[in-house]
Structure 1
């Protein structure tokens, strides 16, 4: 018998492992952008179900349910009217200030809710992100969709209040413009929510800063005052140009024009708001997708 342990003994070849099997991919790898969009489309039923089920759950948690969608902006509007309309007299020079304020408060509240819901979606669902494999963008999209659907009664209540107490100049077919304007606002807000969702997932402390950021945005959007009051101050001309380029300011201006003053939005406004909506969604989606591999690790 040959001693296999002797130096001259023949030894069996080590087991060779072939690599590069076709069809295999690294677990958790980020898919290509087209493949990611296709996977989101495959999850469209989950997105819709998640948005609707959580919306119903939120209604059941509150005794007044959807009434708060109306009460919150109305109470905010009353507060702003007392402080800025009566005490500070910022209503000077604004036709139909009550309607102007209603549109500003309801319109800003909608963007605020959609942005905050989308931005905190990953942070609020860390256990789900850690435990399951699915396109993570479905979470902020579902959260934004939930707030969009949930705010429909709020916008309807705004229209009723305008008719009841704001007495618009004229009720015309231009009121139909509200639908595409709000649709662009929803797309823009959801895009910002996707972008912030990536930021907050990486740095959860940023969520605490968001309330201050949204408050600054509110003041920069002319919610309860008009930028026209500063038109005679040439030193502010550059700042006013920047503020008037604010997409939320333009959205509120378009809503005020069609609902209060019987004015159609200009082509420049449509193009500006449309560009902001498309750009915000594209940038937010791509930034979110680019970090798809990191969300599971950040959730741990």
Structure 2
């Protein structure tokens, strides 16, 4: 009885695929080559969290480039182009000024109501666009998600990056408006801004915390809408409710006789973001450390929770 000679295959345990070579006479396999398939993995595979974060970091240049391209293409079809990045929040502020400042007179008791309103509308609009855009990011790119293997969190991150870049011209416009919101003393909403103080340098820090919070919420919203697409409508309503609960165009001082309401409002992160920004830019007051602590806790907590929740659903995004 003869025994088979020992195998001389250099890759005996590696998955192999036939790679035919074509001849002029037709399709004819003439050689079989071993191909290492150990590095192949499913498109919807979920790596470990540390590896996932490393993959995201490796794609940071693509994320930034994609965000820049979408900022430009998002307004390219309009006659005014990127001017709308500034016009939209300005028009929103004008509408709220007419309704709440002139008709409903909610400006009573608020120093420099115009600046107060501009900060609220511009800053809260930034968060609204980041969250609602992030909620649609994975569903809108379903063909890309089903075709290529990449960390899906890059999609909501790119959306938040795009909204951050879009907010830069609006932010500069807001700062200029605050310098010129002095139509005359005497009315509560027209008290002039006296001077630029060193507290303006604190604004980038609160913006950084706001961006972290926006990203965490965008990741949570994207995860939720891939499971239940109808939540896109609910998220829009929730953001509107949050707008009214963040003192964007009125002051919560009118609820001073209801301490329970005030205590609840103090925990609202966007109320605190607006409070810090107004103290720095409008009133020349150093924001209290309690406000910084609350915003920082919300930012770190939401970013951590959003990252983990989105990562845990990584394998399901290929079926959206």
What is the TM-score normalised by the length of structure 2?
A: 0.83
What is the SS of the residue equivalent to 1:136? coil
Q: CA deviation at 1:43?
A: 1.3
The separation in 2 between residues aligned to 1:289 and 1:134, in whole angstroms, is 12
The separation in 1 between residues aligned to 2:132 and 2:193, in whole angstroms, is 31
1:289 match:
311
Contact 1:258–1:264 (Cα < 8 Å) also in 2: yes
The separation in 2 between residues aligned to 1:231 and 1:53, in whole angstroms, is 47
What is the SS of the residue equivalent to 1:151? helix
Q: Which has the higher contact order (CA 8 A, sep 6+)?
A: 1
2:212 match:
187
Structure 1, gaps ≥5 residues long? 1-17
> Any residues of structure 2 matched to 1:9-158 within 5 Å, and which?
27=42, 28-158=44-174
Q: CA deviation at 1:26?
A: 5.8
Contact 2:92–2:121 (Cα < 8 Å) also in 1: yes
1:242 match:
264
What is the SS of the residue equivalent to 2:286? coil
What is the SS of the residue equivalent to 1:243? helix
> Any residues of structure 2 matched to 1:224-263 within 5 Å, and which?
224-232=249-257, 234=258, 237-263=259-285
Contact 2:123–2:274 (Cα < 8 Å) also in 1: yes
- 2:230 is the alignment partner of 1:205: yes
The separation in 2 between residues aligned to 1:115 and 1:20, in whole angstroms, is 45
Q: CA deviation at 1:24?
A: 6.8
1:5 match:
none
Count how many residue pairs are aligned between Structure 1 and Structure 2. Answer: 278
Contact 2:75–2:84 (Cα < 8 Å) also in 1: no
1:164 match:
180
- 2:198 is the alignment partner of 1:173: yes
Q: CA deviation at 1:242?
A: 1.4
Structure 2, gaps ≥5 residues long? 1-11, 16-36, 183-191
Q: CA deviation at 1:59?
A: 3.0
Contact 1:170–1:260 (Cα < 8 Å) also in 2: no
Deviates further, 214-223 or 45-54: 45-54
